[in-house]
Copies of this chain bind each other. A is one copy, B any other.
Amino acid sequence: METTTERMLSTHPQRPATHLGAVAACLVACRECEAACTLCADACLGEQDVAHLRQCIRLCLGCADVCAATERIVARQAAPDAQLWSLALEACARACRVCADECRAHEGCHAHCRICREACENCERACRNVLSAYPGGGAARGAH
């Protein structure tokens, strides 16, 4: 069954000619990761060992902000700039990677860190899938 995001993309006048599924999966992964990171940062703030979770909180907050911006960049379908598209996806994949690494260090104690780590890894993968699908950046895609 198509997701709402896939339906939105497939009714867009400049919809992706190829790889629509990878773009849709990236959009969904970005916002699930943003949500997981926002909730994980807040949960960490409520833990007794908050002093040990400072870096986790910061990386979660940063990852949430980068995911939010990347989703919006990738959502805009018409004639994107190849270089911006690539840099945004690379930045997002990197933010997810460093956040996942930090969350892993705490997932033995805090289940929310484990769930957040999974969301980050999923988002990193989804961003890299789009980067692979459009090696020349979004411009190739937008040129149809």
Enumerate chain A interface residues (CB-CB to B < 8 A): 4-5, 7-9, 11-14, 27, 31-32, 34-36, 38-43, 45-47, 50-51, 54-55, 57-59, 61-62, 65-66, 68-69, 71-73, 75-81, 83-84, 87-88, 90-91, 94-95, 98, 110-112, 115-116, 118-119
Ranked 10 nearest A-B pairs via Cβ? A69-B69, A87-B91, A11-B111, A13-B46, A8-B39, A12-B43, A11-B112, A65-B72, A31-B31, A65-B69
- Closest-by-CB residue of B relative to A122 is B4
Report how many copies the assembly holds.
Answer: 4
Set B11, B54, B79, B112: member contacting A8, Cβ < 8 A = B112
Set B75, B83, B118: member contacting A94, Cβ < 8 A = B83
Contact assessment for B98 and A91 in the assembled complex, using a CB-CB cutoff below 8 Å: no
Contact assessment for B69 and A81 in the assembled complex, using a CB-CB cutoff below 8 Å: no
